[in-house]
């Protein structure tokens, strides 16, 4: 008999409620014109809302009908940005709104590859549960599983370079401690 933990039941319930809300929203606005139906998009861009962690603006963009699969200059879709930055709520609502799970950015990585590399286990779980390919690779064909199993001493300089390039402070102890958990999730 399958039993769900309290946390897993809550996570599934929350996901179902988000999906139900997004599905039901059009029915609450019957009779409205298309412009009235969606309402205006927030003044802040979707990428900026993700960077700032502004969950309300992300939700408002989805309600307003902002496309969720439009890549930025780096080829990252909003889901990829959420995966890099660890924005779990945003990742969940973007997936519920139809975000592409397997989109590859200009570096050839997918949202799951990014979430795993940047060690965001909640997003890794959300993406796997949504059907993302755990065998995802980078542009050179290296599977994320293999990347996550590289010894810390060998890969720490790569993390330092990547985090430095995107301007995010590197929390080396968090990354080092999370890598084995992420690797196990991808098996």
Count of structural domains, the chain: 1
Computed on alpha carbons and rounded to an integer, the radius of gyration of the chain in Å comes to: 18
Which residues, 6+ apart, have CB-to-CB distance to 4 below 8 Å?
Answer: 12
Which residues, 6+ apart, have CB-to-CB distance to 83 below 8 Å?
Answer: 91, 111, 112, 114, 115, 118, 120, 123, 127
Domain membership flag for residue 150: yes
Domain membership flag for residue 1: no
Domain membership flag for residue 179: yes
Which tens digit of pLDDT belongs to each residue from 92-116?
999 999 999 999 999 999 999 999 9
Domain membership flag for residue 2: no
Domain membership flag for residue 92: yes
20-24 mean pLDDT: 43
Domain membership flag for residue 174: yes
Domain membership flag for residue 164: yes
Domain of residue 105, CATH code: 1.25.40.20
pLDDT of residue 164: 94
Q: How many helices (H) and strands (E) does the chain have?
A: 11, 0
pTM for the structure as a whole: 0.79
Please name the residue ranges forming H helices in 29-119.
34-38, 46-52, 55-64, 78-85, 88-96, 111-117
pLDDT of residue 35: 42
Which tens digit of pLDDT belongs to each residue from 34-82?
344 467 899 999 999 999 999 999 999 999 999 999 999 999 999 999 9
Domain membership flag for residue 76: yes
Range of the domain at 107: 7-186
pLDDT above 70 for 161? yes
């Amino acid at each position: 008999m399958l039993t769900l933990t309290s946390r897993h039941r809550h996570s599934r319930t929350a996901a179902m409620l988000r999906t139900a809300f997004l599905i039901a929203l059009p029915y609450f606005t019957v009779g409205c014109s298309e412009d009235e139906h969606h309402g205006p998009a927030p003044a802040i861009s979707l990428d900026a809302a993700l960077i700032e962690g502004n969950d309300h603006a992300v939700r408002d963009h989805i309600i307003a009908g902002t496309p969720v699969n439009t890549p930025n200059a780096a080829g990252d879709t909003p889901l990829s940005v959420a995966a890099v930055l660890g924005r779990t709520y945003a990742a969940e609502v973007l997936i519920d709104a139809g975000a592409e799970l397997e989109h590859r950015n200009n570096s050839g990585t997918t949202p799951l590859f990014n979430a795993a590399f940047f060690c965001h286990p909640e997003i890794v779980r959300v993406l796997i549960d949504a059907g993302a390919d755990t065998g995802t690779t980078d542009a050179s064909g290296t599977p994320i599983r293999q990347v996550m199993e590289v010894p810390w001493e060998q890969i720490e300089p790569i993390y330092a370079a990547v985090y430095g390039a995107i301007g995010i402070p590197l929390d080396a102890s968090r990354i080092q401690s999370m890598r084995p958990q992420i690797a196990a999730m991808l098996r």
